[in-house]
Amino acid sequence: MSGTVLVARPDSAGDVLLAGPAIRAVRAQAEEVVLLAGPLGRAAAELLPCVDRVIEWRTPWIDADPPPVTGEHVARLMAQLPEAEEALILTSFHQSALPLALLLRLRGVGRITAISNDYPGSLLDVRVRVDESRHLPEAERMLAVARAAGYEPSDDGRLAVRTPPASLVGPPGYVVVHPGTTAPARAWPPERHREAVEALTAEGFQVVVTGTGGEKALTAAVAGRHGVDLGGMTNLAELSGVLNEACALVSGNTGPAHLAAAVGTPVVSLFSPVVPAGRWAPYGVPYVLLGDQQAACKDSRARLCPVRGHPCLSTVTAEQVVKAVRELVP
> Which domains does the chain show, CATH number per domain?
2-148 (3.40.50.2000), 174-328 (3.40.50.2000)
Residue 86: exposed, middle, or buried by beta-carbon count in 10 A (0-12, 13-18, 19+)? buried
CA 2 to chain centre: 27
- Give the H/E segment covering residue 73: helix 71-80
- Output the pLDDT for position 200: 98
Contacts of 108 (CB under 8 A, 6+ apart): 83
- Chain centroid, CA 153 distance in Å: 20
pLDDT by residue (tens digit) across 139-164? 999 999 999 999 999 899 999 999 99
Cα–Cα dist 124/210, whole Å: 42
In whole angstroms, give the CA distance from residue 113 to residue 136.
18
Please name the residues in contact with 173: beta carbons below 8 A apart, sequence gap of 6 or more. Answer: 206, 245, 246, 247
Per-residue pLDDT of the chain (330 residues; tens, 9 = 90+): 789 999 999 999 999 999 999 999 999 999 999 999 999 999 999 999 999 999 999 999 999 899 999 999 999 999 999 999 999 999 999 999 999 999 999 999 999 999 999 999 999 999 999 988 889 999 999 999 999 999 999 899 999 999 999 999 989 999 999 999 988 999 999 999 999 999 999 999 999 999 999 999 999 999 999 999 999 999 999 999 999 999 999 999 999 999 999 999 999 999 999 999 999 999 999 999 999 999 999 989 888 888 888 899 999 999 999 999 999 998
> Order of strands across the sheet with 287-290?
228-229, 207-209, 174-178, 246-252, 267-270, 287-290
> Angle at CA 181, nearest 5°, toward 180 and 184?
110
State the CB neighbour count (10 A cutoff) for residue 111: 17
The burial class, CB within 10 Å (0-12 / 13-18 / 19+), for 69 is exposed
Q: What is the pLDDT of residues 52-63, one digit of tens each?
A: 999 999 999 999
How far, in Å, CA of 98 to CA of 122, rounded?
Answer: 10
What pLDDT shows up at residue 291?
95
Q: Which amino acid is at 313?
A: L
Q: Is there a contact between 82 and 52 (Cβ–Cβ < 8 Å)? A: no
Looking at the DSSP assignment, which residues form a beta bridge with residue 86?
5, 111
Q: Please tell me the distance from the alpha carbon of residue 321 to that of residue 50, in angstroms, as a whole number.
A: 36
User: Where do the H-state alpha helices sit in 184-269?
Assistant: 190-202, 216-223, 236-244, 255-262
Residue 162, classed as helix, strand or coil, is coil
b/e per residue 256-284 (b: at least 16 CB within 10 A): bbbbbbbbebbbbbbbbbbbbbebbbbbb
CA distance 10 to 55: 10
> In this structure, which amino acid lies at residue 267?
V
Q: Looking at residue 126, what is its pLDDT?
A: 98
